[in-house]
């Protein structure tokens, strides 16, 4: 029974991921998320059988059935990741339907923020403010306001501003060259969503993951710079990599958020310091 329910959550998540792709692509374009999808190259309206999440992409070999232009792997990747997140959220928070619904909505928001930030190098205010607001609602749902203003619960209320300030300082003093202001607002939402202990761990994990990916990109760019490898990469039509091709920082923070949430890791031992 457990696996059956998990499978249903995965299917629901994959379907939701297909919708989130549309939301991320059409957000701030003036186009509603509803309406028929079409090929970006030839404008062909897609049939229902061409819109089956993940399956259609595989059956079409990642190409439009009419003009044979390549379809971005973003579509099946977002669909699969959203399905996986829905399953993980079900396993993580199945004991409370309210909190399960909350974390599913949060997952959807963070997926859209990730895709949008990768494509446009910016985090939309509407999405990040919704993330912050939902984080505050979770705090008020789990802990009455009268208790939030007393120790140790007050640390979770202060988690948003505490995580926001370092990012704001980096943004302010670098005039936006080191860090975007959207990342600072995202850190506020992470603080209210995870609390101070796991929020700090999520930020640290985000920096670690970002550093690891950057080093990997730098290493691959050096390998692909070799003349013999260049020929193979050109033949296989592989994208050129460079240090500048690293994705924005928000996706790293979001991955760190999910890792901290599911693992419950406390990298700095703050639980013993603040809540003992």
DSSP string spanning 119-183? HHS---HHHHHHHHHHHHHHHHHHS-HHHHTSTTTHHHHHHHHHHHHHHHHHHHHTTTSSS-HHH
Q: Which of 152, 260, 138, 273 is nearest to 203 (CA)?
A: 260
Determine the length of the chain: 276
| Residue 237: other Cβ atoms inside 10 A | 7
* H/E element, 120: helix 97-120
Q: How far apart are CA 190 and CA 7, in angstroms?
A: 28
pLDDT of residue 231: 55
Q: Where are the domains of the chain?
A: 1-94, 126-276
Q: Which of 148, 128, 106, 134 is nearest to 257 (CA)?
A: 106
pLDDT of residue 148: 74
pLDDT of residue 76: 92
pLDDT of residue 164: 97
pLDDT of residue 239: 47
pLDDT of residue 224: 58
Residue-wise pLDDT tens digits, 134-193: 999 999 888 877 677 777 788 989 999 999 999 999 999 988 888 889 999 999 999 999
Q: Which residues of the chain have pLDDT under 50?
A: 229, 233, 235-246
3-state SS assignment for residue 38: strand
């Amino acid at each position: 029974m457990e696996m059956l329910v998990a499978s249903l959550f995965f299917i629901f998540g994959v379907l939701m991921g297909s919708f989130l792709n549309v939301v991320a692509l059409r957000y701030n374009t003036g186009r509603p998320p509803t309406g028929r999808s079409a090929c970006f190259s030839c404008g062909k309206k897609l049939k229902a059988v061409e819109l089956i999440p993940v399956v259609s992409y595989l059956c079409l070999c990642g190409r439009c059935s009419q003009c044979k232009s390549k379809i971005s792997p973003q579509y099946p990747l977002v669909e699969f990741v959203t399905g996986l997140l829905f399953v993980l959220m079900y396993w993580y928070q199945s004991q409370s339907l309210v909190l399960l619904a909350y974390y599913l909505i949060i997952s959807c928001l963070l997926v859209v923020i990730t895709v949008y930030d990768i494509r446009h190098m910016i985090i939309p205010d509407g999405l990040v403010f919704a993330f912050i607001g939902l984080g505050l609602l979770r705090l008020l749902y789990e802990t009455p306001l009268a208790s939030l203003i007393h120790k140790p619960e007050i640390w979770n209320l202060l988690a948003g501003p505490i995580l926001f300030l370092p990012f704001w300082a980096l943004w302010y003093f670098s005039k936006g060259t080191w860090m975007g202001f959207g990342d600072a607002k995202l850190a506020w939402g992470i603080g209210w969503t995870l609390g101070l202990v796991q929020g700090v761990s999520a930020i640290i994990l985000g920096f670690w993951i970002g550093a690891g990916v950057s080093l990997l990109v730098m290493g691959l760019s050096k390998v692909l710079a070799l003349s013999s490898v260049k020929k193979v990469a050109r033949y296989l039509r592989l994208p050129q990599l460079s240090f500048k091709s690293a994705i924005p920082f928000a996706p790293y923070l979001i991955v760190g958020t999910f890792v901290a949430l599911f693992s419950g890791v406390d990298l700095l031992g703050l639980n013993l310091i603040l809540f003992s």
